[in-house]
Amino acid sequence: MISFFVCLAILIVGYVVYGAFIERTFKPDDRETPAVAMADGTDYVVMGNGKIFLIQLLNIAGLGPIYGAIAGALWGPSVFLWITFGTIFAGGVHDYLSGMISMRHKGTSISEIVGIYLGPFMKTVMRIFSVVLLVLVGTVFATGPSALLAMLTPETFDAKFWLIVVIAYYFLATLVPIDKLIGKIYPIFGICLIVMALGVASGIVMQGYTIPEITFSNLHPKGQAIWPFMFITVACGAISGFHATQSPLMARCMKSEKDGRKIFYGAMVCEGVIALIWAAAGVAFYQSTGGLAEAITRLGGQGGVVYEICNTLLGPIGAVIAMVGVIACPISSGDTAFRSARLVIADWFKIDQKKIKPRLGVTIPLLVIGALLSQVDITIIWRYFSWSNQTLAMIALWAAAAYLRKNKILPWVAVIPATFMSAVSCTYILMAPEGFKLSAAISYPAGIIFAALCFILFMVKIMNKNYTAEQDTTASI
């Protein structure tokens, strides 16, 4: 149990110390933010910091730090280290820089930022990559809750009925001003997510469950390698490229750049704490990784595990909170996924989103595609999501590193995690069942070589460029 509390303390200290270091490195100032300069009453809307923090947390979290952490706990308490140090040195940096650079560029989407700093080819790749990923996330996070709601309601209200309800909600959340729907209900569900995690942590500690100490042994029941599989499985809660698509939403709502550490880095650390709690609960509640694996199979996935843990530790109230979490959290990720997809397309084709008609012109086709995808088996496609997610994080970090260099700021805070994630993403796709299924003997050195090539390419193409003194590559507002 000592390891758990030490990691918890490191996360908190990491926010205070390393988060402040990242802030000093970036140098936020008093310039007018897009929310003020470009206020349109729809996407560019000034909101309070407390509300923005909770919306950002729910945007980036959803079920990620719960489901991913529970799956990551199959490797044992070694997952604590990835959650802790991944959050501080990779995820927090990724989210902060994604959000802040977006703010410096009129709140633009991550695909456009990548294009500015990594070139037109990468812009095209990221535009397509982002839209496909976001629609996929939105679709899956509609079908899952719909099936669960059907199980909890009379037979008349089947999964198709609830799917229609969820998509109708997505339509409203994607279309209407951000402060009218998302701004009102997200803070409530954000608080529920935090309360659920704190309740589970208190139950585990106070009811005498034993959280094992960190060991570097591979405790996965099937012997699956820690590298790179654990680093892909636990995305939200350590680092997630999906966050780079969400941070621009709040970059369009902040009144001051100086609040960036609280919003972007702070929400990521909060997500890391939630992930740490659920990873600890997974290994402690079922007493072993084998017991956890059996529970995941017996209960039909992580959703059943969440319900059983909450119901046992917290009683009926905990069960209600758990159901709110496993239903509301994925829906909240799905609606902002479609909203982000709308904004990516709007930025791509320069479609003004102030008026309702052009917003409808983008929103309706996206939701129609999502509705069609929900009718087919996308299980195989979804297996690529984890890899796609971390690959997007890798690209976002390289773009952030290029931004720092072009603005005469030492880029190593982004270069190091970008290089690490390059190795993770490449090694995984070479080894994974849905990838090339190569052996570790081939995949490991290939992943390292790929990361080294990315690093060398950055040094040659970006670091060796001569930029004019005091060059500011940020867009004027």
Reported as a single tens digit per residue, the pLDDT across 101-115 is 999 999 999 999 999
Q: What is the pLDDT of residue 469?
A: 42
Is 90 a domain residue? yes
Is 471 a domain residue? no
Is 461 a domain residue? no
Neighbours of 456 (CB within 10 A): 10
Name the residue among 279, 296, 306 with its Cα closest to residue 78: 279
Tokens 């969440």, residue located: 306
Q: How far apart are CA 409 and CA 161, in angstroms?
A: 53
Q: Which two tokens stand for residue 457?
A: 């390419």
pLDDT tens-digit profile of 278-291? 999 999 999 999 99
Q: What is the pLDDT of residue 456?
A: 97
Q: What is the mean pLDDT of residues 265-274?
A: 97
Is 417 a domain residue? no
CA 430 vs CA 122, 343, 384, 404: distances in Å: 22, 33, 12, 31
Average pLDDT of every residue of the chain = 91
Residue 353, Cβ density class (10 Å: 0-12 exposed, 13-18 middle, ≥19 buried): buried
Selected residue with higher pLDDT from 138 and 413:
413
Is 252 a domain residue? yes
The DSSP annotation for 336-360 comes to HHHHHHHHHHHHHHT---SSHHHHH
Which residues constitute the domain of residue 150? 2-385
Is 473 a domain residue? no
Under 8 Å between Cβ of 167 and 161: no
Tokens 């996929």, residue located: 136
Name the residue among 153, 159, 148 with its Cα closest to residue 324: 148
pLDDT more than 90, % of the chain: 70
**Number of domains the chain contains:** 1
Neighbours of 118 (CB within 10 A): 22
Asked whether the predicted pLDDT for residue 476 surpasses 60, the reply is: no
Name the residue among 96, 86, 106 with its Cα closest to residue 43: 106
Q: Which range among 161-175, 222-236, 380-394 shows the weakest confidence by mean pLDDT?
A: 380-394
Neighbours of 122 (CB within 10 A): 18
Q: What is the domain-level CATH number for residue 343? A: 1.10.4160
Name the residue among 64, 53, 134 with its Cα closest to residue 347: 134
> In the structure, what pLDDT confidence band is assigned to residue 467 with cuts at 50, 70 and 90?
low
Is 453 a domain residue? no
> In the structure, what pLDDT confidence band is assigned to residue 431 with cuts at 50, 70 and 90?
very high
Is 451 a domain residue? no
Asked whether the predicted pLDDT for residue 61 surpasses 60, the reply is: yes
Name the residue among 113, 77, 358 with its Cα closest to residue 226: 77
Tokens 């190795």, residue located: 423
Q: What torsion, rounded to 10 degrees, do the Cα atoms 142, 143, 149, 154 define? A: 130
> In the structure, what pLDDT confidence band is assigned to residue 468 with cuts at 50, 70 and 90?
low
